[in-house]
A and B are shown apart, each in its own frame.
Chain A
Amino acid sequence: MEESKDMLEKAAEVLKNEKIPPGPSQELVDETMARLAEASDRTETIQLGSRIRIRERVRALKNIHKVAAAAVLLLVSGYAVGRLSAPRPPDLKQLQSALSPAIRRELLDEINQYLQASYASLADDLDRKYQQDLNRVGMQILAASNTVTNERLAELIESFNEYQSQERQWFTTMLERMESNRLKESVQLSNALAEELERTKHDMVQLLVYTQPAGSVPEPLKEPDN
């Protein structure tokens, strides 16, 4: 610490006793004077402007009371002229009694007109609305009735078809039964015809036997081919 303290003081002493060239030079002095003159001129100009403004302001302050007095006089005279030249105020009660019936009548007329116009427009609106609702309900009912009618027609067609099929089936059954009876009766008839034919043959033979003379032996009947 002591060493650094000595070093600092030594450095300060060296800095203080440093060899410095002589100066300032005349050129530097002249440049400095020029800069000072420039800065001073700039300041003088600014200050001159402010002084002029201050003088004008002071001069204006001197005349301010005259201006104020003139303004007050002008205001007072204007007020007096206005008061004297103003028309008298009307009687409010008389005016009210005169205007009140006319206003009331006009008001009533306007209200009636407004109500009539409103009534007419309301009636039109309601009529239009009623028509629209009626049309809509009619369309809905028509659609519903069409649907129900179609359903009933479908059911009717289905029942017709079913009845026809049942009839057709019954007729077929009956035809089959008639055909079987016919066949059966045909067989019975052929059998009966065959038996009758045999019996007829036998009868014929008997007949021939009875009718021919004795000794003669009748020839046997030839069997038919079929």
Chain B
Amino acid sequence: MKRKGDSRKYLRNVQVIDWNTIIKEHGPAVWQTAYRLLGNEADAADCFQETFVSALGFCRREKVRNFSALLARLTTARAIDQLRRRFRQAQSKTDFIDCSIVESEQAYPDQQAEQQELVEKVRQSLSTLPPQEAQVFCLRYLNDMSYRQIAKQLGITTNSAGVLLHRARTRLRESAELSVWK
């Protein structure tokens, strides 16, 4: 009887979720996170779809109380996976900078190009981190989550979240890509 009750509860959870509303409500944040980490629309679109499919799978297993945090975590995880694939498969793709973003009408185009290159280096360095450390770094710095929120989302303790963030920062500082900018 307990199993029957679980199945009914599951069906109720699945039917209650209105994904159209959720996408309208949280889609822009997911898009921004994906685009910020991946840097191009094609990869961001793939990441966007994979994030919501992963969220659907998550909702089948557990009841979701905070979709915003869940989607931020899933987006970060999928984007980091994609970054790792991208830098593993073709290094040449990241060697080029999208110069169309640099607008020469602005005051300092050279600084913008430099910043764009720096962002690409950060992405490349993030792809070399262990996945959990990269997730903690992104959730902290890009999504402004607290240690407690990060720990809750990743299923770890608050202290572990702090340790992972510290390790991520240390590795990023020591990474060859960022050390070039010293």
Contact assessment for A14 and B45 in the assembled complex, using a CB-CB cutoff below 8 Å:
no
Chain B residues lying within 8 Å of A10, measured Cβ to Cβ, are 118
Name the prevailing secondary structure of the A interface residues: helix
Q: Nearest Cβ in chain A — how far from B17, in angstroms? A: 9
Q: Nearest Cβ in chain A — how far from B43, in angstroms? A: 12
B162 close to A (CB within 8 Å): no
CA distance in complex: A21, B48 (Å): 14
Contact assessment for B4 and A54 in the assembled complex, using a CB-CB cutoff below 8 Å:
yes
**C-beta contact mask, B36-54 vs A, less than 8 Å → 1, else 0?**
1000010011001100110
CA distance in complex: A33, B53 (Å): 9
Q: Nearest Cβ in chain A — how far from B143, in angstroms? A: 9
Name the prevailing secondary structure of the B interface residues: helix
State whether A36 and B141 are in contact (beta carbons under 8 Å apart), knowing that A4-B179, A8-B172, A20-B36 are contacts in the complex.
Answer: no
Contact assessment for B35 and A23 in the assembled complex, using a CB-CB cutoff below 8 Å:
yes
Q: Nearest Cβ in chain A — how far from B120, in angstroms? A: 10
Contact assessment for A43 and B122 in the assembled complex, using a CB-CB cutoff below 8 Å:
no
Which residue of chain B lies nearest to A50 when distances are taken between CB atoms in the complex?
B7
Contact assessment for A40 and B56 in the assembled complex, using a CB-CB cutoff below 8 Å:
yes
Contact assessment for B49 and A11 in the assembled complex, using a CB-CB cutoff below 8 Å:
no
Contact assessment for A16 and B141 in the assembled complex, using a CB-CB cutoff below 8 Å:
yes
A153 close to B (CB within 8 Å): no
Chain A residues lying within 8 Å of B119, measured Cβ to Cβ, are 11, 14-15, 18
Contact assessment for A12 and B56 in the assembled complex, using a CB-CB cutoff below 8 Å:
no
Q: Which one of A24-32, A63-71, A129-137, A171-179 is at the B interface?
A: A24-32
**Residue from the list A22, A32, A51 in contact with B7, Cβ < 8 A:** A51
**Residue from the list B23, B36, B169, B173 in contact with A18, Cβ < 8 A:** B36
CA distance in complex: A28, B122 (Å): 27
State whether A39 and B56 are in contact (beta carbons under 8 Å apart), knowing that A8-B172, A16-B141, A24-B28 are contacts in the complex.
Answer: yes
Interface centre among A10, A16, A23, A47 (most CB of B within 10 A): A23
Q: Nearest Cβ in chain B — how far from A223, in angstroms? A: 162
Chain B residues lying within 8 Å of A44, measured Cβ to Cβ, are 14
B131 close to A (CB within 8 Å): no
State whether A24 and B31 are in contact (beta carbons under 8 Å apart), knowing that A11-B178, A33-B23, A47-B10 are contacts in the complex.
Answer: yes
Chain A residues lying within 8 Å of B30, measured Cβ to Cβ, are 24
A58 close to B (CB within 8 Å): yes
Q: Nearest Cβ in chain B — how far from A12, in angstroms? A: 4
CA distance in complex: A16, B121 (Å): 14
CA distance in complex: A43, B53 (Å): 12
Chain A residues lying within 8 Å of B32, measured Cβ to Cβ, are 20, 23
Contact assessment for B181 and A7 in the assembled complex, using a CB-CB cutoff below 8 Å:
yes
CA distance in complex: A1, B118 (Å): 18
Contact assessment for B182 and A32 in the assembled complex, using a CB-CB cutoff below 8 Å:
no
Query: Can you list 21 contacts pairing A with B, beta carbon distance less than 8 Å?
Result: A3-B182, A7-B178, A11-B118, A11-B119, A11-B122, A12-B137, A14-B118, A15-B122, A18-B119, A20-B35, A23-B28, A23-B31, A23-B35, A23-B44, A24-B30, A24-B48, A29-B23, A32-B52, A39-B57, A47-B10, A54-B4
Sort A-B residue pairs by CB-CB distance and give the 7 closest, nearest first. Answer: A23-B31, A12-B141, A24-B31, A11-B122, A4-B173, A14-B115, A20-B35
Instruction: Give the B-binding residues of A (Cβ under 8 A).
Output: 1, 3-5, 7-8, 10-12, 14-16, 18-24, 28-29, 31-33, 35-36, 39-40, 43-44, 47, 50-51, 54, 58
Given A24-B27, A39-B57, A40-B56, 6 additional A-B pairs, CB 8 A: A11-B119, A15-B119, A23-B28, A24-B45, A28-B45, A36-B52
Instruction: Give the A-binding residues of B (Cβ under 8 A).
Output: 3-4, 7, 10-11, 14, 19-20, 23-24, 27-28, 30-32, 35-36, 41, 44-45, 48-49, 52-53, 56-57, 60, 101, 115, 118-119, 121-123, 137, 141-142, 169, 172-173, 178-179, 181-182
